[in-house]
A and B are shown apart, each in its own frame.
Chain A
């Protein structure tokens, strides 16, 4: 953490003065090691690297001017931990502790590049020296992730040196709330949390709603399986969220904000807390911000671990200290939200976009993206994909470019089968729609949705019925149980899918699933229930043949559902080594020395141990 030497900034001019000063100071140090401490790299032990670099800096002595810095997510988590060395922006990947000394000696002090640690293109074998030479980064565009990866998320000085809080100063000093609203309106920014509701319209409704005080809320209850976009922003660029919220509060006429962070994100809470403290210390939050008379406070609330608390009304109930259950939205939260007062809730990524909209103008933002979806969107690209990580792309880019160009395609030479977008309430999009432009409306047309930005790639070995069952099971467990259709309907659907994946499907099951899906969509209380059937509906729509194979032939085409395929040993490939025979837990395998082994299908429980053990690939799923 940076210890602040500064006192309150009394005016926008003060802020500019400090910006110049901190920018100069940062320029005076030309050598810098940036260690990614985003979620992915952190999990791979990057904090230890950061400490080792710091140690190396300390030991190097005063004549070597170097700074080691922990920075937010770079995106290419697959290749983490990532370390970047300035000058030259040398991009080192999969750095391990023993590499630190070498990097410091060779690159930082000596200015030489270590080829071994560079990114190597798996197709061409070409080495990339900087991030911009890596295909993963070429099609990307960073707005919401902003300077995450460049700045130390625990340092407000870093943020300010790179245009930080300039948008807030501009809004407070030179714009009326109406003008701020107009810019956001012109930008075409839509909510990044899933619904895609026009941000300016929400702000305006809240501004116009009678009642005081008004509240603004940042929804950081990211809970979709496989999604970590919001976490990366909270941990890599927390001040952008605070700045966005302050601008929104000014436009709406609010002086109190809340950030609701899921309890499983302790680092996010820590970083945000620190960021709020720093901003308050400099007078960028709190009373009379920058001497403009505008006051705004932000409090952090931690969630209790319920997925449904990401739903706005459930979140507000939870904030009030009540059980996190949704209520009907016939009266919108912008009219009657937290404590019955007008409340404007936006997602982390939406707030993080706001400073850029004000700094560079709504027109600029609207120039990026498609007709109905402007700007960029952050996706967490996970599943059966070469480059697992976090990507930010302009709206309108095709799914194919995200998966093939940025994601590097499917590992192991497998074929692509589907991509699941929109979190557990989203849908699965098959190969024939890979050229669809990614925007709110196009994804909805395909029976999926943008959601908050989870993107799970599946290959040919993935059973789509099982995928539907997986997501339904998740929602069934996470349903609050308040309303009948969600609680009972999901349980019924899950029971049907359980039967199908166990080879006990019946004719008419698919139709019954569709009927229940329709009932849920029409009658469930909140968006969780209304959209819960999407994974089922979209897999029925595009992969009906897999359902039929399970139901009519008791066969799982992807050979994933246990019991719906068998293991056999290829006598040609079997070397009669005895490994499978020895490890089979039910003694279903027979054979001897130089006698190819055979599985007794009557005894086999299809546990798959033989497949895992066989060193020759002789065990087959049939």
Chain B
């Protein structure tokens, strides 16, 4: 196992692990935005830059996707690495100056505001990190959203900016969005779930018992297709909201116990009673 020396702390990691993995193991914080363990490294935000010592020269690398293949020495706190991360953060702040999450991260990094004006406006409040498109493609296998446009025109969009047919309204994109730009909106009166800002809407399933929202119909369908369970019993469960589901399960258990007691079968029940 190769050894990574980070700011003087030595940790061993599996071959192929990243510098970021090593840093987390060493308890050293490196700011990240486009990193998420559920998807492959994007390395687009460039916020996790560290300085790699190559012996006769030093190189800035992104820690989230630099694979450790031999013993290496890395500096997170070198002046050059700090300046690089600060510079990248300033550019991001110029892009999304109002974003609270971004401002909070900047503060944690010790970056006070940005000297730059806002000059890129292809997508408001979005830092184009790519986590949403990656999770939609890699984990959901849907690609309901993807990048469109090039350079200054780049934006995350649905195909032709129309509501995406491939969107199942799962909200994974909103979950991984590091700056909270993607939001799940519930429209209870219409019985629909909207993924904002993509304007895609999917039908919401209402609980059979109480009418409360259970989730997107398409997500439940997907879950039924994928789950290694008895289809009918799962289908039955998914038609209920979590609260009613608990109630029904409890009722069944009680019913089962009553039946068992009637049959004179008592094993395992004594302690609970």
A476-B151, A481-B150 known; A522 vs B120 contact (CB < 8 Å):
no
Is A194 close to B, CB under 8 A? Answer: no
Residue of A nearest to B149 (CB): A481
B264: chain A residues at CB < 8 Å are none
Q: Is the CB of B43 within 8 A of A523?
A: no
Partner of A328, one of B62, B88, B154: B62
Q: Is the CB of A525 within 8 A of B44?
A: yes
Q: Is the CB of B44 within 8 A of A477?
A: no
Q: Is the CB of B43 within 8 A of A479?
A: no
Please measure, in the bound complex, the distance between the C-alpha atom of A385 and the C-alpha atom of B25, giving whole angstroms.
60
Q: Is the CB of B84 within 8 A of A487?
A: no
Q: Is the CB of B120 within 8 A of A487?
A: yes
How far, in Å, is B59 (CB) from chain A's closest CB? Answer: 9
Is B228 close to A, CB under 8 A? Answer: no
How far, in Å, is A172 (CB) from chain B's closest CB? Answer: 36
Give residues in B with beta carbon < 8 Å to A.
Answer: 43-47, 49, 60-62, 65-67, 80, 83-84, 87-88, 91-92, 94-95, 115-117, 119-120, 127-128, 130, 147, 149-154
Q: Is the CB of A480 within 8 A of B87?
A: no
Q: Is the CB of A519 within 8 A of B88?
A: yes
Q: Which 6 A-B pairs have the closest CB atoms?
A: A481-B154, A479-B151, A488-B91, A519-B87, A481-B151, A522-B60
Q: Is the CB of B152 within 8 A of A476?
A: yes
Q: Is the CB of B91 within 8 A of A492?
A: yes
Interface residues of A, CB < 8 Å — how many? 33
Partner of B94, one of A488, A490, A523, A524: A488
B127: chain A residues at CB < 8 Å are 484
A484-B44, A484-B45, A484-B127 known; A330 vs B67 contact (CB < 8 Å):
yes
Q: Is the CB of A523 within 8 A of B44?
A: no
B49: chain A residues at CB < 8 Å are 522-523
Please measure, in the bound complex, the distance between the C-alpha atom of A122 and the C-alpha atom of B244, giving whole angstroms.
95
Is A414 close to B, CB under 8 A? Answer: no
How far, in Å, is A508 (CB) from chain B's closest CB? Answer: 10
Q: A487-B152, A515-B87 are known contacts; what are 17 more A-B pairs with Cβ within 8 Å?
A: A306-B150, A328-B65, A328-B66, A330-B67, A481-B147, A482-B130, A484-B92, A484-B127, A487-B128, A487-B154, A489-B91, A491-B119, A492-B116, A495-B117, A512-B115, A522-B84, A524-B46
Encode contact with B along A425-466: 1 for CB under 8 Å, 0 otherwise.
Answer: 000000000000000000000000000000000000000000
Q: Is the CB of A480 within 8 A of B151?
A: yes
A327: chain B residues at CB < 8 Å are 43
A492: chain B residues at CB < 8 Å are 91, 94, 116-117, 119
Please measure, in the bound complex, the distance between the C-alpha atom of A525 and the C-alpha atom of B60, giving whole angstroms.
11
Please measure, in the bound complex, the distance between the C-alpha atom of A482 and the C-alpha atom of B151, giving whole angstroms.
7
Residue of B nearest to A479 (CB): B151
Partner of B65, one of A323, A330, A515: A330
A-B contact pairs, 26 of them (CB 8 A): A327-B43, A328-B65, A330-B65, A476-B151, A477-B152, A480-B150, A480-B154, A482-B154, A483-B44, A483-B45, A484-B44, A484-B46, A484-B91, A485-B87, A487-B120, A487-B151, A488-B91, A488-B95, A489-B91, A490-B151, A491-B119, A492-B119, A519-B88, A523-B60, A523-B84, A525-B46
Q: Is the CB of A481 within 8 A of B84?
A: no
Is A174 close to B, CB under 8 A? Answer: no
Residue of A nearest to B122 (CB): A481
Please measure, in the bound complex, the distance between the C-alpha atom of A477 and the C-alpha atom of B150, giving whole angstroms.
7
B150: chain A residues at CB < 8 Å are 306, 477-481
Please measure, in the bound complex, the distance between the C-alpha atom of A481 and the C-alpha atom of B121, giving whole angstroms.
13
A476: chain B residues at CB < 8 Å are 151-152
A481-B154, A487-B151 known; A523 vs B46 contact (CB < 8 Å):
yes
Partner of A484, one of B67, B80, B88, B149: B88
B67: chain A residues at CB < 8 Å are 330-331
Please measure, in the bound complex, the distance between the C-alpha atom of A89 and the C-alpha atom of B79, giving whole angstroms.
65
Q: Is the CB of B115 within 8 A of A481?
A: no
How far, in Å, is A530 (CB) from chain B's closest CB? Answer: 10
Residue of A nearest to B95 (CB): A488
How far, in Å, is A526 (CB) from chain B's closest CB? Answer: 11
Please measure, in the bound complex, the distance between the C-alpha atom of A494 and the C-alpha atom of B154, giving whole angstroms.
17
How far, in Å, is B85 (CB) from chain A's closest CB? Answer: 9
A522: chain B residues at CB < 8 Å are 49, 60, 80, 84
Please measure, in the bound complex, the distance between the C-alpha atom of A351 and the C-alpha atom of B46, giving whole angstroms.
35
A476-B152, A478-B151, A479-B151 known; A328 vs B43 contact (CB < 8 Å):
yes
Please measure, in the bound complex, the distance between the C-alpha atom of A111 and the C-alpha atom of B260, giving whole angstroms.
117
Q: Is the CB of A485 within 8 A of B91?
A: yes
Please measure, in the bound complex, the distance between the C-alpha atom of A522 and the C-alpha atom of B87, giving whole angstroms.
10
B43: chain A residues at CB < 8 Å are 327-328, 483, 525
Which of A476, A489, A490, A494 is the most central at the interface, judged by chain B CB atoms within 10 Å of its CB? A489
A523: chain B residues at CB < 8 Å are 46, 49, 60, 84, 87-88
A484-B44, A484-B46 known; A519 vs B154 contact (CB < 8 Å):
no
